[in-house]
């Protein structure tokens, strides 16, 4: 599909190969269902007896406080990252309704700036692929004005569970959980589940024991005695937060020092409303024994169809920070057919499993191959993952411009404004080497955060341009 010429700021109009709207419309052409995508989890959401609990909301910024930020600055950075994330996701949605939440503090200047930035960034898409934006202050205020509408949120949320969904929110939450991955029927690393069940029936001898203290003692003992290497995961994690890869005794000691705070926080948010969802569960898994040369973590994106088959979208290598959190992905377009065949059985197994649970929609899985060539699913995001967009720009980058390589830089901080950045790299934008999928200006600190796709003919082209970008 050819692009449509130049758009705002002298950047090319981007026509995606497909959008989420295309995938959903194809699946629902005989059902009458109309899907409403929900872009993001709003920063700062807390309700009494919260049902759906996530590790990073409120408590942790998507930007590490150890980078020199105060707690208040961390809160601001976290809100900024969520605003940026909503934009990144909206880029892939297409011509369908999209619910987006305004910044949590409700300041009029930030709400206006956020809404303006979302609309401005989507303007580089073909007009037929821009979503119908629906802004709300919180999940409890979302309304659907058509009985055929069903929600497809990236994450289940309190306040929206009263509305019709394409999948019951409890089931979706369980499929998103690391516990759900551990008990799945496809090949995953061997796991040890450390559940906190505040309603568990007790024997007469245990009737006076505190279930939370018992659980904490079990966790500390298990982790202290577990042979290295291993991986610890919290129940619900986002962007790699809450995943701890333990390869040394030093790393184990660091983890043990963090556990009391983590366990207390998770236990305090377990209640009679969500106990059946096991939000405080900790999962210990085997460490996949990869070849000595190292095995990249393959991030595979596909769309599960109603009948349990799937549509392969892309396979990327992940870009991880030193803390193993997700910073982006890279793709080689010429290898996609090979990857589709190589991982076909694993993807088919996951698709059939999710369909058996009632799910259809976009999914991302992370796969590691061990020394024997076995493919282990080490993570599963039952929602559109961040690397989805790289599978939708092959036509724009590869077919039209001959670029075989592309990288998604999830969040890049720049000093100054979007316009200054566009002017500095005007040639690269005009030639299609750069696509800005999101931009949010932090007016309190006069910095901008952007998300970029970087395209080039070779990996060296990508590295060279990326170095210039990050030096801006």
Q: Say if 7 falls within a structural domain.
A: no
Q: Say if 236 falls within a structural domain.
A: yes
Residues 109 and 134 placed together within one structural domain of the fold? yes
Question: At 358, which CATH number?
Answer: 3.30.470.20
Residues 90 and 112 placed together within one structural domain of the fold? yes
Could you list the residue range(s) of the whole structural domain that residue 102 is in? 18-166
Residues 314 and 429 placed together within one structural domain of the fold? yes
Q: Say if 398 falls within a structural domain.
A: yes
Percentages of the chain per state (helix, strand, coil), in multiples of 5: 35, 25, 40
pLDDT of residue 59: 42
Residues 304 and 235 placed together within one structural domain of the fold? no
Query: Is the pLDDT confidence value at 321 over 70?
Result: no
Q: Which of 286, 311, 335 is the last residue of a domain?
A: 286
Tokens (6 digits) for 58:
């409120």
- Match 């629902």 to its residue by tokens: 28
- Match 């406080």 to its residue by tokens: 65
Q: Are strands 149-153 and 34-38 parallel, antiparallel or unpaired?
A: parallel
- Match 């991986």 to its residue by tokens: 231
Residues 40 and 83 placed together within one structural domain of the fold? yes
Q: Say if 182 falls within a structural domain.
A: no
Residues 340 and 269 placed together within one structural domain of the fold? no
Distant-in-sequence, close-in-space partners of 22: CB < 8 Å, separation ≥ 6? 94
Residues 61 and 31 placed together within one structural domain of the fold? yes
How many independent structural domains does the chain possess?
3
- For residues 103 and 82, give the distance between their C-alpha atoms in angstroms, rounded to a whole number: 8
- For residues 104 and 37, give the distance between their C-alpha atoms in angstroms, rounded to a whole number: 19
Question: At 247, which CATH number?
Answer: 3.30.1490.20
Give 34-59 pLDDT, tens digit per residue: 999 998 766 555 666 789 988 754 34
Q: Which of 236, 265, 286 is the last residue of a domain?
A: 286
Residues 405 and 329 placed together within one structural domain of the fold? yes
pLDDT of residue 61: 36
pLDDT of residue 19: 98
Q: How far apart are the first and last CA of the chain?
A: 33
Q: Say if 181 falls within a structural domain.
A: no
Partners of 414 in beta bridges = 448
Query: Is the pLDDT confidence value at 96 over 70?
Result: yes
Residues 323 and 463 placed together within one structural domain of the fold? yes
Most confident stretch, 63-77, 153-167, 286-300:
153-167
Stretch among 93-97, 236-240, 326-330, 427-431 having the lowest mean pLDDT: 236-240
Which helix (DSSP H) or strand (DSSP E) does residue 412 occupy?
strand 405-415
Beta strands in 105-158 (DSSP E): 132-136, 149-153
pLDDT of residue 60: 40
Residues 116 and 39 placed together within one structural domain of the fold? yes
Residues 143 and 80 placed together within one structural domain of the fold? yes
Average pLDDT over residues 319-338: 82
pLDDT of residue 74: 58
Q: Which long-range contacts (CB under 8 A, 24 or more apart) does 140-145 make?
A: 142/38, 142/99, 144/36
pLDDT of residue 445: 77
Give 308-317 pLDDT, tens digit per residue: 999 999 999 9
Q: Say if 362 falls within a structural domain.
A: yes
Cβ distance 154 to 38 under 8 Å?
yes
Q: Say if 158 falls within a structural domain.
A: yes
Residues 362 and 254 placed together within one structural domain of the fold? no
């Amino acid at each position: 599909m050819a692009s449509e010429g130049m758009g705002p700021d002298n950047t090319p109009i981007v026509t995606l190969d497909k959008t989420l709207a295309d995938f959903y419309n194809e699946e629902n052409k005989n059902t009458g269902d109309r899907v409403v995508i929900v872009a993001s989890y709003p920063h700062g959401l807390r309700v009494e007896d919260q049902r759906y609990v996530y590790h990073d909301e409120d408590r942790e910024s998507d930007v590490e406080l150890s980078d020199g930020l105060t707690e208040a600055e961390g809160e601001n950075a976290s809100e900024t990252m969520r605003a940026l994330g909503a934009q990144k996701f909206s880029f892939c949605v297409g011509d369908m309704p999209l619910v987006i939440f305004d910044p949590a503090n409700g300041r009029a200047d930030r709400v206006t700036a956020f809404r303006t930035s979302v609309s401005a960034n989507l303007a580089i898409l073909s007009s037929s692929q821009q979503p119908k934006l629906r802004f709300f202050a919180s999940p409890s205020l979302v309304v659907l004005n058509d009985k055929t509408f069903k929600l497809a949120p990236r994450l289940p949320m309190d306040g929206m569970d009263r509305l019709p969904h394409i999948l019951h929110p409890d089931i979706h939450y369980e499929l998103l959980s690391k516990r759900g991955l551990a008990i799945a029927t496809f090949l995953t690393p061997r796991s040890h589940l450390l559940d906190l069940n505040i309603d568990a029936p007790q024997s007469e001898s245990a009737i006076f024991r505190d279930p939370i203290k018992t659980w904490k003692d079990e966790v500390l003992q298990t982790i202290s005695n577990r042979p290295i290497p291993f991986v610890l995961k919290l129940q619900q994690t986002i962007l790699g937060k809450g995943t701890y890869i333990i390869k040394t005794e030093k790393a184990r000691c660091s983890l043990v020092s963090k556990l009391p705070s983590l366990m207390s926080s998770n236990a305090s948010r377990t209640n009679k409303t969500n106990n059946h969802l096991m939000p405080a569960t900790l999962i210990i898994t085997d460490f996949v024994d990869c070849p000595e040369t190292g095995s990249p973590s393959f991030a595979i994106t596909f769309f599960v169809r109603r009948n349990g088959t799937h549509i392969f979208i892309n396979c990327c290598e992940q870009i991880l920070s030193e803390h193993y959190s997700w910073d982006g992905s890279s793709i080689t377009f010429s290898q996609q057919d090979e990857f589709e065949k190589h991982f076909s059985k694993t993807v088919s197994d996951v698709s059939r499993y999710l369909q058996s649970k009632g799910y259809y929609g976009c999914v991302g899985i992370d796969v590691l191959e061990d020394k024997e060539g076995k493919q282990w699913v080490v993570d599963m995001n039952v929602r559109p993952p961040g690397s989805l967009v790289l599978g939708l720009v092959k036509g724009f980058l590869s077919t039209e411009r001959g670029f075989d390589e592309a990288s998604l830089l999830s969040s890049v901080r720049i000093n100054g404004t979007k316009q200054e950045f566009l002017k500095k790299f005007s040639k690269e934008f005009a030639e299609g080497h750069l696509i800005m999928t999101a931009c949010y200006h932090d007016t309190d600190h006069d910095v901008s955060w952007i998300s970029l796709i970087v395209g080039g003919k070779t990996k060296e082209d990508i590295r060279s341009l990326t170095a210039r970008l990050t030096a801006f």
